[in-house]
Structure 1
């Protein structure tokens, strides 16, 4: 019962505020439509190269964030 009363008050308070719960337009997002060149080509289209380079650089940086366990270890 302790949790339900604050939750009820929170919902009632949000409903009373203009723009609280029901006054907002729903957000929608769609994926871009790719043409045949963008979908099936082995090469990156010119207008997507900057984004692709950033994505690859991020993946490389995050995978090499710390020292590798096998780096600089002498072989026995």
Structure 2
């Protein structure tokens, strides 16, 4: 089943549910749907946005030094 068929079926299902509403309720629903379309929804980041170069104001040497300083050594020798 294609996306167009699914959307068409979904619209028909909603229409069947809404046909019993009063004219005032239908107009209110139309107003609410129209208002929801006017509000710009923030665009969610996509998976492709994760690709690209790492950006930082620090130099490579500063980053290397920061990584080295953040290392924690927990060397525990287990006895047999």
TM-score for both structures, normalised by structure 2: 0.27
Structure (1 or 2) with the greater helix fraction: 2
**Greater gyration radius:** 2
TM-score for both structures, normalised by structure 1: 0.28
